Amino acid sequence: MRPVETPRAAAPLWDVTTPVPPGRIGGIAMAGFRARTAGPLDLEVVPYPAVTVAVDLGDAPLAVGGAEGGPQETGSVVVGLAPHGLRGRGRDVECLQIRLSPVVAHAVLGPTGDLRGGIVRLDDLWGRDAARTQERLRAAGSWADRFAIAEAALARRYRDGPAVDPEVAFAWGQLVAHRGNVRIDGLAAGAGWSRKRLWSRFRHQIGLTPKHAARLVRFDHAAHRLAAGQRPALVAAEAGYADQSHLHREVVAFAGATPTAVAAAPWLTVDDDAWAAPGYLRTI
């Protein structure tokens, strides 16, 4: 059994527990969350470049939906590469959150391109195995046991699941390595494909077009720099935006909020603790 870090207050709302060392499969990161307050929570979540599995382990149902309203799903859910923010609502929240590189998610969850940033129930993708896995996680006596159970389930599906095209994996890796600042034509040339073919296969297997994925990766980098207290003008200049107005438009497009508001987003204060080693962004 692997050791587990002592739960710590990552933000006023949460205690977070993470596995040490991180999991054995590159492109997968896990963290356990437990609300520090018994009251209801209503929290907006900033988009990030990962497919997320949230396994609900609390006594009251956790509801996840779009930040701007619309349909919600309760219980354990899967969220695709979200082009817009999300909102989580619940009471006495306790959950295991798993972030998957979309390259890994393709094998673990099946083709995720159909998610298109949407939210689906985990049992819609895993069938009965979802309920069995959740029951084992609920019955586990510690977070260490929960991480081990989840990792075994993920490893089995990763081994047996469909792999993305090597060319698509290459393109995703380049987007991550360059923080979204790449020419799409250059990606296609590097992959040895035409731009049209890369566009089609990438969108089918990853869930976004290469251009949209590049924007999401770049936004994620910029949002964390804003949360670290850096000035928007500096972030715009060093993150690859044309100017501060360009940064402003992109932040509003992805998060529905200004750079100033994103810099203070509660969920971003959790990230440095929960995802200090961002396995979901490793090149696969």
When the pLDDT of each residue in the chain is averaged and rounded to a whole number, the result is 84
Q: How confident is the model at residue 6 (pLDDT cuts 50, 70, 90)?
A: very low
Domain match, 49 and 156 both: yes
Is the Cα torsion angle 256, 260, 264, 267 positive or negative in sign?
positive
CATH number at residue 251: 1.10.10.60
Domain match, 28 and 144 both: yes
CATH number at residue 17: 2.60.120.10
Residue 225: which domain range? 166-269
Q: For the segment 170-221, what is each residue's pLDDT rounded down to a tens digit? A: 999 999 999 999 998 899 999 999 999 999 999 999 988 999 999 999 999 9
- Of 243, 258, 241, the C-alpha closest to 179 is 241
- Of 109, 160, 115, 113, the C-alpha closest to 130 is 109
| DSSP letters for 98-132 | EEE-HHHHHHHHS--GGGTT-EEEHHHHHTHHHHH
How far apart are the C-alpha atoms of 255 and 162, rounded to whole Å?
32
Neighbours of 124 (CB within 10 A): 11
Kindly state the average pLDDT of the residues 248-253.
94
Domain match, 19 and 158 both: yes
Q: Of all helices (H) and strands (E), which one includes residue 279?
A: none
Evaluate if residue 3 carries a pLDDT over 60: no
Asked if residue 23 belongs to a domain, the reply is: yes
Which residues does residue 97 pair with via DSSP β-bridges, in sequence order?
31, 54
Q: How far is CA 31 from the centre of its chain?
A: 12
Asked if residue 132 belongs to a domain, the reply is: yes
How far apart are the C-alpha atoms of 165 and 178, rounded to whole Å?
20
Q: How many domains does the chain have?
A: 2
Q: Which of 110, 138, 162 is the endpoint of a domain?
A: 162
Asked if residue 61 belongs to a domain, the reply is: yes
Predicted structure pTM score = 0.86
Between 115 and 148, whose confidence is greater?
148
Evaluate if residue 4 carries a pLDDT over 50: no
How far apart are the C-alpha atoms of 49 and 52, rounded to whole Å?
9
